[in-house]
């Protein structure tokens, strides 16, 4: 029976010892070294191979052999995930990725919501009390210079996710936000739209300016005028999307499409359209950014930029665990800045503009 049949049918026969890396490798049809690379989220593995290995891991219920790790001199590390993101959908994707990777590499994940009134020195002191070895920073905290400075002063390894301003001392995982927004806006232009509304992101996040720059560049490339009335301020929350979309649809003539800087605000734009008895996409096209669960759980499902949030969280967790291991072995740990690929997910929320 071949590998695909094994994964679709019964599990391979295992001994009483439980599944091993060799079992995972056999089921996935790869080498044990490839399985190890997937577990440690190394970027040298092709996406299709990585998916096969993850499927095999889930099928077998494989977990790392902690005793073997201990004999090999390994140790469990404690990674803090600090968050202050207004989008529950984004945070959920991020948390799933980081938790999945932490369970594979015997890392303990400590989730801490940041109180905006708590001084960062006090926060760092609390992390020290929890014996935290490294810190994950999703947006917007990844762009906070004061927090970054406090963590650097404390000597903690840091991974910034989705930042437009990677720090020299920290790992960083990003997509090309400007190019992604340019490509989405160009897609709408290609469908015939000439009045495209844009909902910006929060001013304190570097990706907001990058996404606005991509929108502006696409309009300029197409020779379309910049109408300031077609740009509305948002802050990545659903409520800000309601307010921004209401302002955009009050314009005369109104836009035929709205591109929002995240899926929460895009979903809000769909709600405002429906409230105004506009059909999406017959009367108004709506597109978003991130490909969070929100984009797939409303009607119609939203065309969006797929930012691999969960995969970025996995990679960041693995990089931090590797840094902690290198430091405990008294070896110099290198810092990595990784550019991750994005894609456009075409769904049901966009189409050609309505006929005049």
Read off the pLDDT of residues 186-209 as tens digits, 9 standing for 90 and up: 999 999 999 999 999 999 999 999
Contacts of residue 27, defined as CB under 8 A and 6 or more positions apart, other chains included, come to 3, 6, 7, 12, 56, 59, 60
Its pTM stands at 0.81
Helix, strand or coil for residue 99? helix
CA atoms lying within 13 Å on the CB side of residue 90: 23
Cα separation, 350 vs 54, in Å, equals 33
Cα separation, 229 vs 248, in Å, equals 7
Containing H/E element for 345? strand 343-345
Mean pLDDT of the chain: 89
pLDDT of residue 180: 98
pLDDT of residue 117: 85
Cα separation, 255 vs 276, in Å, equals 14
Cα separation, 43 vs 106, in Å, equals 20
The pLDDT tens digits for 134-175 are 999 999 999 999 999 999 999 999 999 999 999 999 999 999
Cα separation, 247 vs 238, in Å, equals 14
pLDDT of residue 17: 57
First to last CA, the chain: 60
Cα separation, 75 vs 324, in Å, equals 9
pLDDT of residue 106: 81
A 10 A CB-CB count for 265 gives 32
Give Cα 127 to chain centroid, integer Å. 24
- List, in sequence order, the alpha helices (H) in the chain: 3-8, 21-28, 32-39, 47-60, 66-71, 88-104, 120-129, 145-153, 177-190, 206-221, 238-249, 263-275, 309-328
Cα separation, 356 vs 351, in Å, equals 15
pLDDT of residue 320: 95
What does residue 34 show for φ and ψ, rounded to 5 degrees? -65, -40
Contacts of residue 10, defined as CB under 8 A and 6 or more positions apart, other chains included, come to none
CB 180 within 8 A of CB 148: no
What does residue 5 show for φ and ψ, rounded to 5 degrees? -65, -40
* CA torsion through residues 122, 125, 127, 129, sign: negative
Helix, strand or coil for residue 223? coil
Q: Tell me, what DSSP letter sits at residue 262?
A: S
CB 310 within 8 A of CB 213: no
Q: Which residues of the chain have pLDDT under 50?
A: 1-11, 15-16, 66-73
């Amino acid at each position: 029976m071949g590998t695909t049949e094994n994964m679709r049918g019964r599990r391979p026969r295992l001994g009483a010892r439980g599944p091993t890396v060799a079992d995972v490798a056999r089921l996935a049809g790869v080498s044990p070294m490839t399985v190890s690379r997937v577990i440690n989220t190394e970027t040298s593995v092709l996406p299709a191979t990585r998916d096969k290995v993850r499927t095999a891991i889930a099928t077998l219920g494989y977990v790392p052999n902690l005793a073997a790790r201990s004999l090999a001199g390994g140790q469990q590390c404690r990674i803090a995930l600090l968050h202050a993101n207004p989008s529950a959908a984004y945070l959920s994707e991020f948390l799933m990725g980081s938790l999945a990777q932490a369970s594979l590499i015997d890392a303990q994940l400590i989730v801490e919501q940041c109180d905006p009134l708590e001084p960062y020195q006090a926060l760092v002191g609390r992390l020290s009390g929890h014996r935290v070895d490294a810190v994950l920073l999703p947006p917007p905290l990844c762009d906070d210079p004061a927090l970054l400075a406090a963590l650097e002063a404390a000597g903690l390894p840091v991974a910034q996710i989705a930042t437009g301003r990677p720090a020299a001392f920290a790992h960083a995982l990003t997509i090309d936000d400007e190019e992604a927004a340019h490509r989405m806006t160009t897609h709408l232009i290609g469908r015939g739209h000439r009045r495209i509304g844009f909902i910006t992101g929060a001013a304190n996040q570097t990706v907001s300016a990058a996404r606005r720059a991509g929108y502006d560049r696409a309009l300029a490339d197409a020779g379309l005028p910049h109408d300031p009335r077609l740009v509305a301020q948002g802050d990545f929350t659903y409520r800000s999307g309601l307010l921004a979309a209401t302002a955009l649809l009050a314009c005369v003539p109104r836009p035929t499409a709205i591109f929002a800087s995240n899926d929460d605000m895009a979903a809000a734009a769909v709600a405002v359209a429906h409230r105004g008895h506009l059909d999406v996409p017959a009367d108004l096209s709506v597109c978003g950014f991130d490909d969070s669960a929100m984009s797939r759980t409303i009607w119609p499902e939203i065309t969006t930029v797929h930012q691999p949030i969960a995969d970025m969280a996995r990679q960041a967790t693995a990089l931090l665990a590797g840094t902690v291991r290198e430091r405990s072995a008294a070896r110099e740990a290198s810092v990595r800045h990784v550019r991750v690929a994005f894609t456009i997910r075409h769904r049901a929320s966009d189409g050609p503009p309505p006929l005049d």
